[in-house]
Amino acid sequence: MSDVPRASRVFARLRQICERPGMFAPDFTLDHLNMYLGGYDDALGDAELPNPQARFEEWIYERHPEWRDRPEWWAKQLLHANGDDLDRTLAEIIRLLDQFLATDGAEFVRHPIQAR
């Protein structure tokens, strides 16, 4: 088993989608990512489970308060900040996710048991 920390499922899937978007939708856009995350939110809400994604979103808005009241979601704001370059934006989402998981979101990282 790897000794690399693993994130909770939603964050692990977010990373997978950002790393290989074409596997999830041939003509991938941030709208696909938004739909996936929205569906995950809805499922957690239906099951009355806490939503780690909301914490990540709040963490992003603390760093970019100007995005909070705009009509587009935070990833679209990030896309515009990256000159509408989708690949750069997906890489930036991964970078932000890594920062979150290393700091305020550390509780969402699971460390696998090391094989002896």
- Where are the domains positioned within the chain? 6-110
- Could you please report the per-residue DSSP string of 40-69? HHHHHHHTT---HHHHHHHHHHHH-GGGTT
- Cα–Cα distance, 70 to 74 (Å, whole number): 9
pLDDT in tens, 21-58: 999 899 999 999 999 999 988 988 898 888 888 999 99
Mean pLDDT taken over the chain: 87
pTM of structure: 0.84
pLDDT of residue 114: 44
113 confidence band (pLDDT: 50, 70, 90): very low
